[in-house]
Structure 1
């Protein structure tokens, strides 16, 4: 799969800009604040229907403008594909494939497989469990639409159950039968999500460990540990056990929405015991394992975005990473950096065609 060209209109800091890309390596270089990351984020937007860096959709519209349009021309399975994402203030975002708008954005997820590696990934280590659950969900959803639908339905029921608990507290009332209906639905969707997450991680963790070893040349052992309430009992039982607690809190305190993924190095949390270099290598290994998993599931080489890859990594380690993609197992690569010469020296070490775009 190849992104042949990209057109931006009123997207972030761009008023109008078009790129014609190399089918292997593309380097976006320029000073800080010039919009390098915004180009990569536009490519991400075409795959996921949203920004990687800014969850507030309207904030991706250029200042003082009313709309944005991101237009991508692809070649997939030797066929042309055109994807357009557009948003007008006060209206819903639209995603079109070959001129036809999707009824549900979830139908588009996985069609254009993509993995991004960015300094913003550090949130996976330093932020709360929500960020790590989103990572798991993103990887699985790329190749399993039934998982995505179960997740959407679970979150919808969870919101309704929480609203019911608040209603009970506000009106000094309680109806167990009504609550049991929500418990049954949460249990149904939650068990599917738990089983798929557990199966995914059993396959994913060995891939991740192998990638970390290749990147770091280190002796330390790394691991991922899946933590879930459902490891202890089925969700319906758990919900009944905590009913008094939930009534007091006015929200649902157990379930797959509380799952977490522990990041460990040498048996200890990497957040506290990993150096900056170890943390960066850990995150890159995590994302390259994501690449491997998605490729194995879809049979397509995902597009790989390396945003500010030199951040906190020395040039030797960057060269190692670039070399990892110097084979036919990888497809199209996009790199952003502030130093054109440094980037060109790195990509020259691989035997692939490349293009440098100076902003």
Structure 2
């Protein structure tokens, strides 16, 4: 009996793995279709309570127009502030690229003198052309975002118009289990999206303020811009905070003559990120949006590989949605329990 259960479980796991691989392949091949759809579903989960509240007081189309207007304004404000901060720092780095090249050449010579052979290979790749190429790639991606967000907004408009009708269609399904999973899973996922975005925004603000204040106190140039960059990148767990500490450290290398000062800045910035991300955020977020850190990191790398820059931002919400729907059905609940957040150890019963 146990062997049959084991075989059945193994087949279920194999089926899930094959299905996951096929879904990832489809998502990668049709990314131009699924990327704006994923963004639209995420936005709909965030703004639906406001849309529902407005619909109870205004005509449906008027409520929809207000919701879309405010959503667009918020997205434009976020993108404009991020582009301004990255643009200010990026122009400075490009203008000062020769100085960084000379600095790294001196560092490579010192490392080669102490037997670190890999330093020469690193020097071949870190140069002015590499930096300019990276900036051109970011600029090219920014230009393609316009069509992406136009399609996403169209999805949001159509989705908000039909959401009530779609809910009634699901409720009329003969398969009551499927109807329950879809309705309860969608409601729970939308609630977790809102909680996730609220917590990340709060922690991003705290991180941005602390990083900006620290940069200003230490005399690091572009203190306000570093605060904004830390605020933006904090929406990407793990990788974003690390990048937000790496770039100010690179700037400090050419601004301060003392290596202890550079290492001190890097260490203090990481302490800020660690305290906010590992101590404050879990207590604010609670268990409702808790996911295993290993799963979070895997989701970021996977969706970045599949969808590039957008996948970096949306990877964790997608994983959050998958685990939420898995938790709604008995046959897949074990996946949500296995990949969820840390479980507190229960005290021994007397």
Superposition TM-score, scaled by structure 2 size: 0.25
Quick check: which one's helix share is greater? 2
Q: Which has the larger Rg?
A: 2
Higher fraction of strand:
1
Higher relative CO (CA 8 A, sep ≥ 6), structure 1 or 2? 1
TM (norm. structure 1) is: 0.25
